[in-house]
Copies of this chain bind each other. A is one copy, B any other.
Amino acid sequence: MDEKTKILLSEENLPAFWYNIVADLPAPPPPALHPATGKPIAPSDLAVLFPPALIDQEVSVQRDIPIPEEVRALYRLWRPTPLYRAWRWEKALQTPARIYYKYEGVSPAGSHKPNTAVAQAFYNRQAGVRRLTTETGAGQWGSALALACNFFGLECQVFMVRVSYDQKPYRRGLMETYGAEVVASPSLRTQAGQQVLAKDPNCQGSLGIAISEAVEVAAADPNTNYALGSVLNHVLLHQTVIGLEALEQMSIVGDEPDIVVACTGGGSNFAGIAFPYLGRMLRGGRTVEVRAVEPAACPSLTKGRYTYDFGDTAHRTPLLKMHTLGSSFVPPGIHAGGLRYHGMAPLVSHVLALNLIQAEAVPQLDAFAAGVEFARAEGIVPAPEANHAIAGARRAALQCREEGRSRAILFNLCGHGHFDMQAYIDYAAGRLQNFDYPEEEIAMALAALPAVAGD
């Protein structure tokens, strides 16, 4: 076995295709439904928001979907990303496990998000769209889309949740440096925003409101489309470059993961690393244990109901079958903003329902403890979201120690934490807490779910 720290791929080995897991699943995922009719939506229902190529990908059953050369050329600015062997962390954990991590923090925006942002901007540009609009919480997705729009000469408008807009100016600065327009949400630009502000002029905003604003703008302007950073099939598809590269890199090392771990918020970085491994298993290849790690304060996979729900709080999206805590549930203010989502990608929910993956939840303080331990061993300070994957990998490694088994663990380190140092400062000062499991709020939100035929 190789003794390298970083396993690199050259650009010639950048994947030429994305991997679509739908082609290999034993059962197709349940379709999205139109909220008015309760019937499956037609691809044309999405045309007001997305370009034809992305709608095709959303419903495709083709296994390998070619990555356009223009997208691959931009991927080359940071891809293939390195795969690391965590020699120093293994030693710190005194585990016989072999731990590997794929590091997506080397992208210009510092996370995996540009993998799909660049693809979405390309297809929109191709369709003659002039502007993309989106929402962002802490700003990881917004900065990725700002970067991508800039590359393709598209205007970019980002509705940023007001509380983050005021408290996290650095990510906003990054978006503006890439030329994007950043609007604090709720805003007066949309009816959705105006309605909220009429009731509460000091409203701090939420991801749900910001989505409603972005969707409203895109629906009203034929030159403007909407872009989403997770959840949808085409977004998960674009992220599979992560796992496809990892397959190649592990084979260079001459090792294979027994366990694959990633954090889950909307599900895209998880699908990115896990789906290519699941696909290989589904096609009769090597068995792999896949673990999704979510925050205990927002436990859609471990405590949610698998049912039809809206993707947003304002109920403007189609109904998606997913593990959900109820679209009216507002998750507690954990620092891993990217994991604060009431639902889960329908494809990730589907593979959980098929028992192809496992899910576990990690409290905030455990995630940060694991992240700090990892940073001291490996140097890289992870994003708070990634700390959940690290905590999951740590559990698996300690299990190996208890059992005296040397298994191989691969996890996705989806981003660096250089924009999130306030969270680390708060953690060190004892100002972070574990939220009690919000049982009552979730029960209420689940009770408020829409009744859907065929549920």
Task: Produce 1/0 per residue, A72-96, CB < 8 A to B.
Answer: 0100111000001000100000000
Closest residue to A170 on the B side, CB-wise?
A: B421
* Interface 9-residue window, one of A121-129, A241-249, A373-381: A373-381
In order of increasing CB-CB distance, the 3 nearest A-B pairs are: A108-B379, A173-B421, A5-B76
Q: Are B425 and A176 in contact (CB under 8 A)?
A: yes
Q: Are A376 and B428 in contact (CB under 8 A)?
A: no
Residue of A171, A173, A372, A422 ringed by the most chain B CB atoms within 10 A? A173
Question: Roughly how many angstroms separate A6 CA and B107 CA in the complex, as a whole number?
Answer: 13
Q: Are A381 and B425 in contact (CB under 8 A)?
A: no
Contacts of A189 in B (CB 8 A): none
Task: Produce 1/0 per residue, A1-23, CB < 8 A to B.
Answer: 00011101011000000000000
Known contacts A177-B372, A178-B376: does B425 contact A169 (CB below 8 Å)? yes
Within 8 Å of chain B (Cβ to Cβ): is A424?
yes
Contacts of A106 in B (CB 8 A): 106
Question: Roughly how many angstroms separate A419 CA and B176 CA in the complex, as a whole number?
Answer: 15
Closest residue to A419 on the B side, CB-wise?
A: B418
Within 8 Å of chain B (Cβ to Cβ): is A179?
yes
Copies, count: 2
Contacts of A171 in B (CB 8 A): 421
**In chain A, residues 257-281, which have Cβ atoms closer than 8 Å to a Cβ of chain B?**
none
Q: Are A169 and B380 in contact (CB under 8 A)?
A: no
Contacts of A77 in B (CB 8 A): 5-6, 84, 378-380
**In chain A, residues 400-421, which have Cβ atoms closer than 8 Å to a Cβ of chain B?**
416, 418-419, 421
Question: Roughly how many angstroms separate A108 CA and B379 CA in the complex, as a whole number?
Answer: 5
Within 8 Å of chain B (Cβ to Cβ): is A51?
no
Within 8 Å of chain B (Cβ to Cβ): is A57?
no
Within 8 Å of chain B (Cβ to Cβ): is A347?
no
- 15 CB < 8 A contacts A-B: A5-B73, A5-B77, A6-B76, A6-B77, A78-B379, A106-B106, A108-B378, A108-B380, A150-B376, A170-B170, A170-B421, A170-B422, A173-B424, A176-B425, A177-B375
Closest residue to A416 on the B side, CB-wise?
A: B418
Within 8 Å of chain B (Cβ to Cβ): is A110?
yes
Within 8 Å of chain B (Cβ to Cβ): is A46?
no
Within 8 Å of chain B (Cβ to Cβ): is A174?
yes
